[in-house]
Amino acid sequence: MNAMNSEHADVLVVGGGPVGALAALRLARQGRRVLLIEARAREAEVRDARALALSWHSRELLADAGAWPDDMPSTVIDTVHVSQQGSCGRTRLDKSDLGLPHLGAVVDYPALVAGLSRALARAGVQVLWQTRVTSVKSLSQYACVEVETPQGKRLLTARLVALAEGGALAEALPGIHRRTHDYHQCAVLAEVETERPPMGVAYERFAHDGPFALLPHGERYMLVWTRSQDDAERLVAADESALRESLQQAFGERQGRILSIGPRASFPLALRQANQVVSGRVALIGNAAQTMHPVAAQGLNLGLRDAVGLCQALEGAGDPGDARALKRYAAARRLDSHAVVGFTHGLIKLFDGHHPLQNALRGIGMTTLDALPALRRKFAGHLVFGVQG
């Protein structure tokens, strides 16, 4: 993955995370000249504590791009158990509901990035490492990007720029603004050992102190617990025995006793969604288009579908920045994006409050979903494949 000698590309992808890398791989497969820009250095260690819950559909998209080798270190999810603390009612989603080998898989972020990096090298995608984009402008025939590298500043041009970074660059583009909502919460991450091994079961639990997920992670679980900012600080610094007791009380004995909880990390939670995903010759995918609450683990899955949706819209277009092709992309992604963002935001609101009547109504809803196979299959299908028009 060597830097381009030329200053021009058909498509310039900003952001070398999973979404940007997948877009670059699929665009290169179309025969386009792609340049991927990544802020980190080529050999820099990827310091990210997240374990990512990918739907089986997302896993297949990555495998198709050559980024999910057979020996990828991951743990499959066959069943998702959804419940709430202090009330009856639950829903179980199973791989048999959709006739899939598995519902999903959990992979550590560094392992996924390494797999994508190897795939980019095999595909001959050219990468500018340790390069930071400072501005993006769209003109009638091309877009231009100013970057800072260790060697100094450069100006790059492309027929299309795909932004797959955190979204700050998009805010300066004409016509784009972002809806924001600060949850005043943090996600606390930690590896958890339970008396019984996961056996392919993931848990989504709406506890009194905040929803949490337990994701199969080898022979242990990865905990993702949403807490208030003050609570998150306290849990990160807490004695392990106190945290074990708190989690055991919130989770119950479904996996037996909680034996140990490893080092903790936390990150703040907010909703950000762009009002549109195209501005001239610039398209937004992944976190540039939306970031959301981690409940139901939909953020990265939605971003990967953005990347694929953009590539599908550009299929056969001589000019990747053609306004008609980008209009197709925006239209194709609108329903899925708004439905998933609305679903995750609505879940947080729905389970905010623990009045007995609220608990009972939510319990009835989960029991009803569990008891109606057709409805359960449709719901599971939306989680795995996205919302189709």
User: pLDDT per residue over 4-27, tens digit each?
Assistant: 444 899 999 999 999 999 999 999
Residue 3: pLDDT band with limits 50, 70, 90? very low
Output 369 or 87, whichever has higher pLDDT: 369
Q: Which two tokens stand for residue 344?
A: 């995750």
pLDDT at 51 over 70: yes
Output 132 or 382, whichever has higher pLDDT: 132
What per-residue string of b and e applies to 164-197 under the rule 16 or more CB within 10 Å gives b? bbebebbeebeebebeeeebebbbbbbbbbbeee
Helices 356-371 and 373-385 pack at an angle, to 10 degrees, of 90
User: pLDDT per residue over 133-170, tens digit each?
Assistant: 999 999 999 999 999 999 999 999 999 999 999 888 99
For range 353-381, the mean pLDDT: 84
In the prediction, which pLDDT does 46 show?
85
Distance, CA of 202 to CA of 205 (rounded, Å): 10
CA-closest candidate to residue 294, choices 49, 124, 123: 49
Residue 1: pLDDT band with limits 50, 70, 90? very low
Distance, CA of 157 to CA of 348 (rounded, Å): 42
Domains 8-75+109-179+271-350 and 183-269 share a fold: no
For range 256-274, the mean pLDDT: 95
For range 164-186, the mean pLDDT: 92
CA-closest candidate to residue 344, choices 234, 198, 181: 181
Full-model pTM: 0.94
Q: Which amino acid is at 83?
A: S
In the prediction, which pLDDT does 389 show?
57
User: pLDDT per residue over 198-246, tens digit each?
Assistant: 999 999 999 989 999 999 999 999 999 999 999 999 999 999 999 999 9
Mean pLDDT of the chain: 93
- Considering only the top CATH level, what class is 183-269? alpha beta
Distance, CA of 237 to CA of 265 (rounded, Å): 10
What per-residue string of b and e applies to 210-239 under the rule 16 or more CB within 10 Å gives b? bbbbbbbbbebbbbbbbbeeebbeebbebe
| Backbone dihedral angles phi then psi of residue 63, each to the nearest 5 degrees | -65, -40
- Angle (nearest 5°) at CA 38 between 32 and 39: 160
| Backbone dihedral angles phi then psi of residue 194, each to the nearest 5 degrees | -115, 165
The proportion of the chain whose per-residue pLDDT surpasses 70, expressed as a percent, equals 97
- Angle (nearest 5°) at CA 100 between 91 and 291: 65
In the prediction, which pLDDT does 317 show?
95
Residue 127: pLDDT band with limits 50, 70, 90? very high
The proportion of the chain whose per-residue pLDDT surpasses 90, expressed as a percent, equals 81
- Give me the residue spans of the domains in the chain: 8-75+109-179+271-350, 183-269
Output the CATH code of domain 8-75+109-179+271-350.
3.50.50.60
